[in-house]
Amino acid sequence: MDDSAAASTTSSGPRDRLAAVRESAAWVCAEARHVKLNAEAVAALAGEVAAQAKDHPVLEGGAEGGVGWGEEIHFVSGSEAAVVQYLFVVDALNFCFWPSEGGWEYEDLSTALKRALEEDAEVLSADRLAHMSEEALCRLLGGRALPNMPARVEHLRQVGACLQERWSGSAAAMVRACDGSAGRLVDMIVTSFPGFQDHLQYKGREVCFYKRAQILAGDIWGALKGKGLGAMHDVEQLTMFADYRVPQILEARGVLEYSQALKKRIMDKEELPQGGEEEVEIRAATVHAVEELKRVLRDAHSMNIMSIKIDWYLWEEGERQDRAGTLPPHHRTLTTFY
């Protein structure tokens, strides 16, 4: 990949921005010293995924059918506009739960916000978000404080202020302006909201992941079952959402292979600095591994499936195995990106 392909994310268009995630992930993998992919393990995992495809709620239907999105832990009973506003708030706060002494998990966040919205339809209005305080956010979460509350409050204030300024306070209006394009929505989110600008430098080049911007587009598609504001003609262009859980299970399955030094740091639960070579290589290898898994599923098993469905499948498997205590520790990085 040349210098322009590693590119600058600020000048790229919607498709270029999503392509840049794939391209920069592949480039990092080619340059990586601490993480590599095992092709045999990718092929073995592809075989297992293909064997489950017909009966698994996330995998069934290939690229289009069987959305398999977690309705039980999300607010989905209101209007499209209310659902989209809710999802924007969830994904503005959806990062770095692991430092919590109270054992916060993603589903704790999503269900707390669901309860709050069911009790007060205006609780997530742009005006309230723009004037959010730590105390108000704690109340919103049922009296429990998340780690790094100042950053989360700042994210909500940014969301509220920008929605008020540009889209009359409505996240649904922003989505509607994207004309059914997940790529355009990711581009708009990254351009408009600093808290979603998930790009950094690796060996002198810019690398981008846009985890939370992409997951918001995927969540809207999933929650609305690909209809109405969830009808996105290019949703298959989204990549997986590079976080903690998916690389954890990919490493456990042998798809990701860590250097001995990196493996020891993770097993010792040592924090990896955000933007350090090791952390960037883990995230990039995770994105690239899912793209390779998708390619093998297509070429060897005649199975066309979107990257985000593979992500959902692996995330669920990771959650299940983590609860069972069968996974090694995940890497630890204090970040607002994931």
Kindly list the catalytic residues: 243
Taking the C-alpha atoms of residue 51 and residue 143, their distance in angstroms, rounded to an integer, is 44
Host H or E run for residue 312:
helix 307-323
Chain-centre distance of CA 283, in angstroms? 11
Q: What is the SS3 assignment for 125-170? A: CHHHHHCCCHHHHHHHCCCCCCCCHHHHHHHHHHHHHHHHHHHCCC
- H or E element, residue 280: helix 277-301
Helix, strand, or coil (residue 233): coil
Sign of CA dihedral 326, 328, 334, 338: negative
- At residue 36, the 3 state secondary structure works out as strand
Rounded (5°) CA angle 219-225-227 = 110
- And the tokens for 313? 């499948």
Residue with tokens 């898994």: 293
Sign, CA dihedral 179-182-187-193, equals positive
Distance CA 139, CA 156 (A): 14
**Residue in this structure with the two tokens 């309860």, named with its chain if needed:** 115
Q: Which amino acid is at 151?
A: A
